[in-house]
Amino acid sequence: MDTSLHTMENLFLQLGLDNSEASIDNFISHHQLNGNERLEQAPFWTAAQAAFIQECLAEDSDWVEVVDHLNAQLQK
């Protein structure tokens, strides 16, 4: 599986978010998951963003490794 284009920066771009390193760090520091909250159910996503994340996880897509990394970064 070629994951060369599947970086955190490209994930943020795919989600329609600013993908600069500073913006990603800021997003992670201001958005945390509570307890057993699932990444795709977090209240800070739009419906389209949540659907993309859920699809990545459900289909074990090429993005899943980066999505899992974001999930780990958002855990309290």
Both tokens assigned to 31: 């958005």
Query: Is there a domain that residue 33 lies in?
Result: yes
Residue type at 14 in one-letter notation: Q
Predicted pLDDT at 70: 97
Query: Is there a domain that residue 2 lies in?
Result: no
Q: For 3-39, how does the pLDDT look when each residue is reduced to its tens digit (9 = 90+)?
A: 458 999 999 999 999 999 999 999 999 999 988 899 9
Segments forming the whole domain that contains residue 16: 8-74
Query: Is there a domain that residue 1 lies in?
Result: no
Query: Is there a domain that residue 62 lies in?
Result: yes
Classify residue 60 as exposed, middle or buried by CB count within 10 Å of its CB (0-12, 13-18, 19+): exposed
| pTM, 2 dp | 0.89
We report the CATH number of the domain holding residue 48 as: 1.10.10.1130
What domain count does the chain have?
A: 1
Q: For 29-55, how does the pLDDT look when each residue is reduced to its tens digit (9 = 90+)?
A: 999 998 889 999 999 999 999 999 999
Predicted pLDDT at 1: 47
Query: Is there a domain that residue 3 lies in?
Result: no
